Amino acid sequence: MYLRTGERSPQMSNRLALRLALFGGFALVLFAILFFRLWQLQVLSGEEYLAEANNNRIREFRVSAPRGEILDRDGKVLVGNRTSLALVVRPQRLPADAAERRAELARLGELTHTSLRRVRRTIAEQQEVAAGAPVTLRRDVGDYLVYYLQENQDEFPGVEVQRVFVRRYPNGTLAAHTLGSVGEVSEEQLREARYESLEPGDRVGQDGVEYSYDGFLRGEPGLTRIQVDAFGRPTPSGRLVSKAPVPGDNLQLTIDADLQAAGDAALSGQGLYGAYVAMDVRSGQILAMGSNPTYDPAVFTRPLTQSQVDDLIRDPVAAPLTNRVIAGLYPTGSTFKPITSIAALAGGNVTPAESIYDDGVFTLGGIDFRNAGDAAYGSLSMQRALEVSSDVFYYTLGDRMYPGTDLQKWAGKLGIGREAGIDLPGEQPGLLPTPAWRNELYGERLTDRPWSAGDNVNLAVGQGDLQADPLQMAVAYATIANGGLVPRPHVGMQVEDAAGRVLREIETKPARRVRIDSEWRDVILDGLHDAAQSGEGTSYSVFGGFPVPVAGKTGTAERPPHADQSWYVVLAPYPDPEIVVAVTFEQGGFGAETAAPAALEILSEHFGRTAEPVSDGAGVVE
Q: What is the pLDDT of residues 124-136, one digit of tens each?
A: 866 665 555 677 7
What's the rounded mean pLDDT across residues 89-96? 82
**426 has pLDDT over 90:** yes
**410 has pLDDT over 80:** yes
pLDDT band for 3, please (50, 70, 90 cuts): very low
**Minimum mean pLDDT range among 110-119, 207-216, 604-613:** 110-119
Alpha helices in 138-293 (DSSP H): 143-151, 176-179, 187-190, 208-212, 214-217, 257-268
Do 216 and 162 lie in one domain? The reply is yes
Residue 26 lies inside a defined structural domain of this protein? no
Q: Compute the distance between CA of residue 327 and CA of residue 330 in angstroms, rounded to an integer.
A: 10
CATH number for the domain harbouring residue 472: 3.40.710.10
pLDDT at 122: 77
Phi, psi (rounded to 5 degrees) for 346: -65, -35
- 47, containing H or E segment: helix 46-56
Residue 21 lies inside a defined structural domain of this protein? no
Do 129 and 217 lie in one domain? The reply is yes
Alpha helices in 347-381 (DSSP H): none
pLDDT band for 227, please (50, 70, 90 cuts): low
Q: Compute the distance between CA of residue 607 and CA of residue 546 in angstroms, rounded to an integer.
A: 10
**51 has pLDDT over 60:** no
> Mean pLDDT in the chain?
88
Q: Decide which of 211, 232, 252 is a domain's last residue.
A: 252
Q: Which domain holds residue 127?
A: 65-252
Q: What is the pTM of this model?
A: 0.83
Do 561 and 426 lie in one domain? The reply is yes
Q: Compute the distance between CA of residue 587 and CA of residue 596 in angstroms, rounded to an integer.
A: 14
- Residue 564 near residue 530, CB atoms below 8 Å: no
Q: How many CB atoms lie within 10 A of CB 458?
A: 20
- Residue 372 near residue 463, CB atoms below 8 Å: no
Q: What is the pLDDT of residues 71-80, one digit of tens each?
A: 999 999 999 9
**Minimum mean pLDDT range among 82-91, 291-300, 322-331:** 82-91
Q: Compute the distance between CA of residue 130 and CA of residue 230 in angstroms, rounded to an integer.
A: 34
pLDDT at 173: 96
**95 has pLDDT over 50:** yes
Going by C-alpha positions, the residue among 481, 486, 553, 554 that lies closest to residue 520 is 481
Residue 619 lies inside a defined structural domain of this protein? no
CATH number for the domain harbouring residue 184: 3.90.1310.10
- Residue 276 near residue 178, CB atoms below 8 Å: no
Q: Compute the distance between CA of residue 475 and CA of residue 512 in angstroms, rounded to an integer.
A: 12
pLDDT at 235: 62
Do 214 and 289 lie in one domain? The reply is no
Do 204 and 282 lie in one domain? The reply is no
**Residue 359 DSSP symbol:** -
What's the rounded mean pLDDT across residues 193-222? 89
Do 278 and 238 lie in one domain? The reply is no
Do 431 and 335 lie in one domain? The reply is yes
Q: What is the pLDDT of residues 338-362, one digit of tens each?
A: 999 999 999 999 999 999 999 999 9
Do 230 and 324 lie in one domain? The reply is no
What's the rounded mean pLDDT across residues 530-542? 97
pLDDT at 363: 97
Stronger pLDDT, 70 or 299, i.e. the higher one: 70
Do 302 and 167 lie in one domain? The reply is no
**Residue 42 DSSP symbol:** I
Return the half-sphere exposure (C-beta side, CA atoms, 13 A cut-off) of residue 319: 13
Indicate the number of domains in the chain: 2
**9 has pLDDT over 70:** no
Q: What is the pLDDT of residues 495-514, one digit of tens each?
A: 999 888 999 999 899 999 99
Residue 155 lies inside a defined structural domain of this protein? yes
- 38, containing H or E segment: helix 10-39
Q: Decide which of 201, 219, 252 is a domain's last residue.
A: 252
Q: Compute the distance between CA of residue 437 and CA of residue 442 in angstroms, rounded to an integer.
A: 9
Do 429 and 457 lie in one domain? The reply is yes
What's the rounded mean pLDDT across residues 76-88? 89
Long-range pairs for 354-362: beta carbons < 8 A, 24 or more residues apart: 354/381, 354/382, 355/379, 355/380, 355/381, 356/380, 356/381, 356/385, 356/392, 356/393, 356/396, 358/385, 358/390, 358/392, 358/393, 359/392, 360/392, 361/392, 362/391, 362/392, 362/395, 362/396, 362/399, 362/457
pLDDT at 84: 80
Long-range pairs for 505-513: beta carbons < 8 A, 24 or more residues apart: 506/423, 508/284, 508/421, 508/423, 510/284, 510/485, 510/486, 511/415, 511/420, 511/421, 511/486, 511/487, 512/413, 512/486, 513/484, 513/485, 513/486
Q: Residues 186, 191, 195, CA angle at the centre, nearest 5°?
A: 75
Residue 41 lies inside a defined structural domain of this protein? no
What's the rounded mean pLDDT across residues 130-155? 73
How far from chain centre, in Å, is Cα 135? 24
Q: Peptide bond preceding 403: is omega within 30 degrees of 0, i.e. cis?
A: yes
Query: Strand locations in 386-498, DSSP E?
Result: 485-486, 492-496
**61 has pLDDT over 50:** yes
**Minimum mean pLDDT range among 14-23, 304-313, 533-542, 566-575:** 304-313
Q: What is the pLDDT of residues 581-598, one digit of tens each?
A: 999 999 999 999 999 999
Q: Decide which of 219, 252, 285 is a domain's last residue.
A: 252
Do 486 and 561 lie in one domain? The reply is yes
Residue 28 lies inside a defined structural domain of this protein? no
pLDDT band for 534, please (50, 70, 90 cuts): very high
pLDDT at 376: 97
pLDDT at 620: 73
Residue 37 lies inside a defined structural domain of this protein? no
Residue 601 lies inside a defined structural domain of this protein? yes
Q: What angle in degrees, to the nearest 10, is found between the helix axes of 116-129 and 98-111?
A: 100
Q: How many residues does the chain have?
A: 622
- Residue 557 near residue 565, CB atoms below 8 Å: yes
Do 192 and 336 lie in one domain? The reply is no
- Residue 394 near residue 461, CB atoms below 8 Å: yes
pLDDT at 1: 44
Percent of all residues in the chain with a pLDDT value above 90, rounded to a whole number: 62
